[in-house]
Amino acid sequence: MIERDLRETVARLHGELTRYGLVAWTAGNVSARVPGRDLMIIKPSGVDYDDLAADNMVLCDLDGVPVEGELSPSSDTAAHAYVYRAMPEVGGVVHTHSTYATAWAARGESIPCWLTAQADEFGGEIPVGPFALIGGDDIGKGIVSTLTGHRSPAVLMRNHGVFTIGRSARSAVKAAVMCEDVARTAHLARALGQPVPMAQADIDALYDRYQNVYGQRPSPPATT
Ligand SMILES: [Zn+2]
């Protein structure tokens, strides 16, 4: 039952990638870890976004090998699987070539923190990961080595695109959407002048508030 619900969730979350304009053709993918089992659910390879549904999501083990069904999983499955093996706290992984963020990746340039929204979600700069060819574990290793111990849930893999992680697939999708949003604004800001740096103490305060206080909680903390 959990697996069935997760298939529906992963299929539906792919609709957010198209809704926010993060993907072209069949590029981009979302996966989710099946809680308590060494399994993951990921997009099938080369299937149109309009045709994605719970039934054609691919169930794989954490080596990226399909355990049922006929369809081949996304060509990025090895990278997702590597992240789940190396980062037990991660419940969802997303990959896109979203335009503005990938333009920063093409230059091998991290996105400096010039916006409060970036401080909130990413806690500072959005880092660049190494260049890595698809196939094997190189992309996964690059994601894990860059994001381990880093506040940012997004990495710009050099000359390639964005990978994001989250406690759930939904939070990884949110990070992918926010990454493109701040990448676009940072691009425009720098194109038109010199963006004003933010003080590290302000970035820290924003990150702490957003991560620990912001949002709807079952029992909200006392307000002062
Ligand atoms: Zn890619």
Q: Provide the pairing of β-strand 154-157 with 128-129.
A: parallel
Query: Has 120 been annotated as catalytic?
Result: yes
Catalytic residue among 51, 55, 63, 214: 214
Instruction: Report the predicted TM-score, pTM, of the whole model to 2 decimal places.
Output: 0.94
Catalytic residue among 97, 137, 150, 187: 97
Asked if residue 13 is part of any domain, the answer here is yes
Q: Please report, in angstroms and rounded to a whole number, the separation of the first and last CA atoms in the chain.
A: 43
Could you tell me the two tokens for 193? 């002048």
Q: Where are the beta strands (DSSP E) in the chain?
A: 29-34, 39-42, 58-61, 92-96, 128-129, 154-157, 161-166
Asked if residue 223 is part of any domain, the answer here is no
Q: How far away, in angstroms, is 29 Cα from ligand 1 center?
A: 9
Q: For 93-151, what is each residue's pLDDT tens digit?
A: 999 999 999 999 999 999 999 999 999 999 999 999 999 999 889 999 999 999 999 99
Catalytic residue among 76, 80, 95, 207: 95
Asked if residue 16 is part of any domain, the answer here is yes
Asked if residue 224 is part of any domain, the answer here is no
CATH number at residue 122: 3.40.225.10
User: Residue 79: exposed, middle, or buried by beta-carbon count in 10 A (0-12, 13-18, 19+)?
Assistant: buried
Largest CA distance in the chain: 57
Asked if residue 202 is part of any domain, the answer here is yes
Q: How far away, in angstroms, is 24 Cα from ligand 1 center?
A: 11
Asked if residue 219 is part of any domain, the answer here is no
Asked if residue 217 is part of any domain, the answer here is no
Domain count along the chain = 1
Q: For 184-219, what is each residue's pLDDT tens digit?
A: 999 999 999 999 999 999 999 999 999 998 877 665
Is the separation of the CB atoms in 4 and 73 below 8 Å? Answer: no
Query: Has 160 been annotated as catalytic?
Result: yes
Range of the domain at 186: 1-212
Query: Has 214 been annotated as catalytic?
Result: yes
